[in-house]
Structures are given as structure tokens and as C-alpha cells.
Structure 1
């Protein structure tokens, strides 16, 4: 772990998070057919990014420099997750939020740690449906549902 790189990355991502929060204030607060406006997601994303960046910067100052070792980068895992993210964005409208999020999480979990398939299936299913239910039914937002050809 390179502490100086982490420190600078934390500062840069903190600035990006603050820019998201400031920029979200200029977006409309309501959207057609939804009680949740387009400004909510960038506002929470910016706040979350700012908090995580502050923790990263704090941790780099708190930990003393230890002997740094070169870690081999895992390009195969990065490629699999990147391809899954691109496919997730491409097929979100076609197969719906729940199915595409479920598949993306399942691929991500299995890429990071092989095995424990039932745990990955359960977490992926609960998270994807839980977020959909929370956003659509509780917050009265709109997300692409299940595809019409499924039913």
C-alpha cells in the first residue's frame, strides 16, 4: 500500500465528492412520475465519496510508513469486473434493474472470492430486490422493473 498515493487520491476524490454535492444542488428536485428527484443520487453519492475520502486521508496520516512491497496487479479480475460493469450498463433497460443488478453482484462476488455460491446468490438476490423495493415502493421512484417477456 502506497500511503502517499492513497493520501493524494483521498484528497482528489474528496474534492470530486464535494463537487458532486455542490453540483447536485443545481439539478431539479423532482422528476416526472417520481417523487424522488434527479438530485438525490448525486447528493448522496458525493456525500458518501467525501466521507470515504476523509477516512482514507485520516488513515494515511494515522499509520506510520512501513516497508512497502510491490504487489502484482490482478488484470484478469479487473477485466472481468470492468466487463461486467459495462454489460450491466448496457442491459439495465432491457432486462430490468433487479435481474441486471443480481447478475452483476453475483459475477463480482464470484470474481473476488470463488466458492460460497449460495451465500453469493442470497446476498445478490436480497440486495437487488431490496434496493428496488425501497426505491420504487418506499421512495416512489422509478427504476426499470422486470422485463415484459418474463411474465
Structure 2
């Protein structure tokens, strides 16, 4: 637990949540007369992110003493900014390359990078899990639910 990091993270996630809600308004609100459209899910996630970030900020303000006690009694390490930057940059790359490379490739690469950033080693396990997850979600969404995702680049 790091008070300053949690406060900064809550502000950053609040800004991202607001951005998601604002940008989701640009997506069409309904599909074929349905009340639930393509903008519903992103807007809901944005609202959830805003709510959770506000709760985190309130918690950090209310529990300053608890943060200090925990930092003094635990073998406290500073936040791992390297992992955060790796995952943030890979998420940014995911968003930018999704239309270019398609869902399967970008999701697979993003998951492998994320798994390796969080826990080094076990590269084969990371590759298998990322491949299975990407494929199952893609084929399930496209074939079972009839949705559309960016396909392969070729």
C-alpha cells in the first residue's frame, strides 16, 4: 500500500473513465431498434471505472494513518513502475494496432506481454493461455453471438 501512488492512480483512472464515457457517446446508441446498443458496454465500464476510482480516492483520504502503519510494519517495496509502463504501453499499442492487425493477433500479443510483465518465465504457458483465450473469445463472439471483430490482416 502506497498512499501517494493510490491517490495518483485514482486520479488517472478517473480521467480514463471520463474519457471512455465521453468517447462512448460517439458510438451509435442502438442497433436495429434495440435499446441496448454498441455504446452501452463501454459507457457502463467507464461509469464503473469512474465510481471505483472515486472510491479509491476517498479510501486513501480516510485511511492515511492505516497506510502509514502498513508501510512501517511491512517490508515495503516501492511500486513497480516498470511493469506499469510495460502494460500501459502494450495497451496503447493494442488500441492502435487492433484495426491493422486484427483481434486475434493483437489480443494474443497483448496477453503474452501482460503475462510476462506480471510474472517472468513460463513463456510456453503464457503463449498457450493467450492463444486459447484469444481464439475462444474470437470464435465464440463471431460464430456463436454473431458479432463482428477485426479479422486477420490478410
User: Shared fold by TM > 0.5?
Assistant: yes
| Higher RCO (CA < 8 A, seq sep 6+) | 1
Aligned to 1:121: 127
Q: Aligned pair in 2 of structure 1 residues 79, 46: CA closer, same or farther (>3 Å)?
A: closer
> What is the root-mean-square deviation in Å for CA atoms of aligned residues?
3.7
User: When the two structures are superposed, what TM-score results if normalisation uses the length of structure 2?
Assistant: 0.63
Gaps of 5+ in 2: none
Q: What pairs up with 1:52-131 in 2 under 5 angstroms?
A: 52-57=52-57, 59-60=59-60, 61=62, 64-67=66-69, 68=71, 71=78, 74-75=81-82, 77-131=83-137
User: Would the aligned equivalents of 2:5 and 2:79 in 1 still touch at CA under 8 Å?
Assistant: no
Q: 1:115 Cα shift?
A: 1.1
* Cα displacement string for residues 9-62 of structure 1 (whole angstroms, at most 9, x for unaligned residues): 536745763675577467422469xxx744134213213313532552465345
Q: Aligned pair in 2 of structure 1 residues 16, 141: CA closer, same or farther (>3 Å)?
A: same
Does residue 146 of structure 1 match 2:152? yes
Gaps of 5+ in 1: none
> Aligned pairs, how many?
144
SS at match of 2:67: coil
Q: Aligned pair in 2 of structure 1 residues 24, 129: CA closer, same or farther (>3 Å)?
A: same
User: When the two structures are superposed, what TM-score results if normalisation uses the length of structure 1?
Assistant: 0.64
Q: 1:83 Cα shift?
A: 4.3
Q: 1:78 Cα shift?
A: 4.6
Query: 95-104 or 126-135, which moves further after superposition?
Result: 126-135
Q: 1:98 Cα shift?
A: 1.0
